[in-house]
Structure 1
Amino acid sequence: MDLSFGCFKINVSYDADTFGPASYIGGSIFTMLNCFSKARKAIRGILTAGAVLSLAACDVTTLPSGGSDGGSGPNLKSGETVQIALLIPQSDPNTGNIPQSLENAARLAIAEIPGANIELKVYDTAGRAGTAAAQAQRAVDEGAKLILGPLFGEAANAAAVAVADEGVNVLSFSNNTTIAGGNLFVLGSTFDSAAERLVSYGARNGKKNIAVLYQNNIAGQLGRNAIQGAATRNGGQVVAAEGYDLNTESLTAAIGRVKSATSGGNADSLYLTDSWDGGLSVVLQLAPEQGVSPASTQYAGITRWDVRSDGFKLPGIEGAWFAIPDNASTAAFEQRYAARYGAQPHALAGLAFDGVAAVGALLKKGRNDALTRSALTQGAGFQGASGVFRLLNNGTNQRAMGVATVRNQQVVILDPAPRSFGGAGF
């Protein structure tokens, strides 16, 4: 959907890997700066809507109860056909082709698992939490042994609560780790995976003193916390953390405070939590202009920076580090999807593929406990649409990611995504 604010227009789409709506902001960076103050309230409105309409759904909800069995999951009989319920917002007009793309990807995964005996039944959540809860219960009553979806965080939480007492696990498409736990897993790529990959890479390359510049919203705070945790685990430290609102006055002041840490020698790297839908473009322009030089301070970002080639001209992105999925695996999945359905998959489609692929891999091994927590959280993980991943016992996930940079306006892989767990990069 297009939202215009006089000076510039934002087109909101959906991208899990950017932790919110991926947006195109037309006009020059200077036009944006002039308009920032005027558009402040309007932008806040977009971000609030984006929190509801994106995988990053920053609706802080209570953790679902695991029920009497802690969401351990049902055991299967030998040769039993496993019914998986796919909960997607088919009738929500704001989701475009996302629901169909998710369903297509799930069916592609089934087709690639010969003899897995998986039956997929689709249920419409309409994008609403109450409907998601009712549909989850209906699915279980009709024989579902696992819930795949829903798309939005609040709906996923409601669905998990509804079926927790029956021991059915929910593999949601959210990347909001605040809802994970009990019988609810999040499949979306998390800040924790990106932060861990980048901070560990930085530590191995002598960058251990970190300054963080984050937006003053829940996504920014979660990103900041992920960086702080990764720094602690990798022998680094966060020496400065400054938040900003989406207006030039607040951002300029925050950059000034960060500059004190970088110019004083306390910080050798600057981590950004923002994404293209927020203020990232402005940050990558303003921070170098205000004296936080990329030549002396290593810039790094925990959102997907490679999806906006029009941003590769910004001074802060040249030589910066950011995490990306396994390009080879992603390309292979997209090719198989296109061959089967005649179109490219939505950026979120791989999550549905991953959920089915995980269950299918366990079923192929003849595991009657394939739907239980212990099986789903096996340390070896699974091969997914964008590389290897594994579900963690706390309901979150860990994904293989590479480290990339931009050189001469081209993405360059500095350290490829690992192909298995236990090696370099994890």
Structure 2
Amino acid sequence: MTSRAQSRFGRLAPSLVFAAFLTLAGCATSGPPAPISSGKPRVEPSQDRQADRDRDDERGSLHANGLEIDANGLPKPLRGKFTPEFLKGKDLVRAGVLLPFSHPNAGVRAEAEGMLAGIEMALFDHAPDTFVLLPKDTAGSKSQTVEMAEQAQSEGAEFFLGPLFGSSVAALNEERKLAGIPVIAFSNDRDVAGGNTWLASISPEEEVSSLVEYAISQGFQQFAFFGPQSALGQRIETALQFEANQKGARVVATGFYPDGSDSPSSEARYLAQSINSAESYGPVAVLIPERGTQLRKVAPLLAYHGVSRSVQLMGLSGWDDPNVWREPSLKGGWFVAPPDVDLQSFETRYKRIYGRAPTSLAAQAYDAAALAISLSADGDLDRREILAEDGFVGLNGLFRFTAQGTAERKLSIYEVSPGEGATLIHEGGTRFDPDIG
């Protein structure tokens, strides 16, 4: 549940309007959805939108509950503000949901469906029946994102949940017709935040900050980086340099290797030698920002090339995966992730309702929707309320938005224990310092 810090709001009436819209959305797929959170920036691919429109025209239109929907099962544009017959005369709050339901990539489509499911759960948990969702299909296209946002605006949307990709968020920010409408987006690209755009995602920079802060509290003043020579890898290494410098520590060695390399032995050998030399000045913590199979291939290389046994391995939330905890070289390694108590309950409920595990961003979508429902109870999203210094409690722990439009979070630290899983060794904080920056 998402609430103001140090408070919880009670369960409110479910949104019948959303249930009707969900029927129209036609987003169900067979089989479990494949998460798209690969650890790389969420970038939308280019595509031929005209070909898609021509194909949709050939399929024709469908009708349900008196509303016209397109071939993807999504509502077609309405004339004027959308008001269900049984809610006429009531003061409604309308939110546009901008997600890529018909994206060419199956994993992206599945993630969009999972996020919409998370939003649905938040509505049934927290929303009155006067809170109405207007789901719109961005298809992963910048131009269609703007088109769908304008459509939602004409139907009465007062703010947006989404989009997913940074380029789509940037396109909204540049559209004058949409100026002033609050956007709670899910991009992990900090460059598109600010103004009336807030990013509900958990950024790599925030994860690095939490990890470095904990390592320093455990006596580490020296850090090293071993990761891919990619845009994201460089971004994470820059964050490591920044956080170490800010806290009076230093990065003693960096080992970049070609992105996707299965066995960067020469880079591992160089880094191991550099780390061993630096250990005469104190212990070293090494950040390896990989995940999955790639992590299991890369992590053992440092030990193979003779890195000191006292070196502390560290990772980001990509390590939060039972499949990698079996890797012997990761034993005792630390990784950062949201507190798992509420997330476990959410996953159990999600599985019971939808018959499959939640996608990687479903809980973030839940938190964003629950927050929007709470803050819009008086009719709009007020900037001062969004910037509340005490923050909000969500499924992903305590968080608050900064004046720059990013989310600051209190994340937890876990230790890998092969055969036992991952053990919580540092719980995320329960309060923020007053100065939000």
**TM-score, scaled to structure 2:** 0.74
**1:392 to 2:407 alignment:** no
- Aligned partner of 1:274 among 279, 290, 301: 290
| Structure having the higher Rg | 2
What amino acid is aligned across from residue 313 of structure 2 in structure 1? Y
**Structure 1 residue aligned with 2:190:** 177
In 2: Cα distance, 1:109 partner to 1:304 partner: 25
Is 211-220 or 310-319 further displaced after alignment?
A: 310-319
Shift of 1:249: 9.2
Alignment of 1:5-404 (within 5 A): 13-16=34-37, 18-20=38-40, 51-52=43-44, 80-94=91-105, 95-115=108-128, 117-162=130-175, 166-246=179-259, 251-264=264-277, 265=279, 268-276=284-292, 279-293=294-308, 295-307=309-321, 309-364=322-377, 366=378, 370-404=380-414
Mapped to 2, the partners of 1:239 and 1:340 lie a distance apart of 49
User: Which residue identity does 1:282 align to in structure 2?
Assistant: K
Structure-1 residue corresponding to 2:66? none
Q: Which amino acid aligns with 2:316?
A: I
Q: Any idea what SS the aligned residue of 1:335 has? A: helix
Tell me, what secondary structure is at the counterpart of 1:150?
A: coil
Indicate if the aligned counterparts of 2:202 and 2:407 stay in contact, CA closer than 8 A.
Answer: yes
- Residues in 2 aligned to 1:248 and 1:155: alpha-carbon distance in whole angstroms: 30
Describe the shift of the 1:163–1:401 C-alpha distance in structure 2 as closer, same or farther (beyond 3 A).
farther
The list of structure 1 runs, each at least 4 consecutive aligned residues, that deviate by more than 6 angstroms after superposition, is: none
Q: Identity of aligned pairs, percent? A: 26
Paired residue secondary structure (2:326): coil
**CA drift at 1:156:** 2.2
CA distance in 1, matches of 2:260, 2:138: 36
Q: CA deviation at 1:373?
A: 2.8
Cα distance, 1:339 vs. partner?
Answer: 4.2
Aligned partner letter, 2:425: L
The residue identity in structure 1 corresponding to 2:39 is F
Q: Where does structure 1 lack aligned partners over 5 or more consecutive residues?
A: 1-11, 22-49, 54-78
TM-score by length of 1: 0.76
Q: CA deviation at 1:320?
A: 0.7
SS of corresponding position for 1:242: strand
Amino acid corresponding to residue 313 of structure 1 in structure 2:
R
Report the residue type matching 1:325 in the other structure.
P
Could you tell me how far apart the structure 2 residues matched to 1:181 and 1:134 are?
Answer: 21
One-letter amino acid matched to 1:386: N
Cα deviation, residue 235, structure 1: 2.5
1:283, distance to aligned residue in structure 2 (A)? 1.6
Name the CA distance, whole Å, in 2 between partners of 1:15 and 1:92: 12
Report how far residue 51 of structure 1 moved: 4.5
Q: 1:341 to 1:422 in 2, by over 3 A?
A: farther
In 2 relative to 1, CA 88–402 (structure 1 residues): closer, same or farther, beyond 3 Å?
same
- Contact 1:87 / 1:147 at 8 angstroms: preserved in 2? yes
Asked whether the 8 Å contact 2:127–2:373 carries over to 1, the reply is: no
Counterpart CA distance in 2 for 1:380 and 1:311 is: 35
Q: 1:420 to 1:247 in 2, by over 3 A?
A: closer
Contact 2:262 2:298 in 1 (8 A): no
Residue identity in the other structure for 1:287: L
Q: C-alpha distance in 1, partners of 2:235/2:177?
A: 26
- Aligned mates of 1:114, 1:83 — CA distance in 2: 12
SS in 1 for 2:98: strand
Looking at structure 1, the residues matched to 155 and 201 of structure 2 have their Cα atoms a distance apart, in angstroms, of 27
Task: Show the counterpart of 2:28.
Answer: none
1:288: how far off? 1.1
Deviation string for 1:319-349 (max 9, x for gaps)? 1110011111101222333444444322211
- Give the distance between the partners of 1:116 and 1:253, measured in 2 at CA: 61
Structure 1 residue 377: Cα displacement: 2.1
Q: Any conservation in 2 of the 1:325–1:401 contact (CA below 8 Å)? A: yes
Name the count of aligned residue pairs: 352
> Structure 1 residues 239, 169: CA separation in 2 closer, same or farther (over 3 Å shift)?
same
CA distance in 2, matches of 1:163, 1:148: 18
Structure 2 unpaired stretches of 5+: 1-32, 46-89
Letter in 2 for 1:92: H
Contact 1:288 1:315 in 2 (8 A): no
Deviation, 1:84, is 0.7
Instruction: Report the 3-state secondary structure (helix = DSSP H, G, I; strand = E; otherwise coil) of the residue aligned with 1:414.
Output: strand
Deviation at 1:273, TM superposition (A): 2.2
Deviates more, 1:313-322 or 1:200-209: 313-322
CA-based RMSD of the aligned residues comes to: 2.6
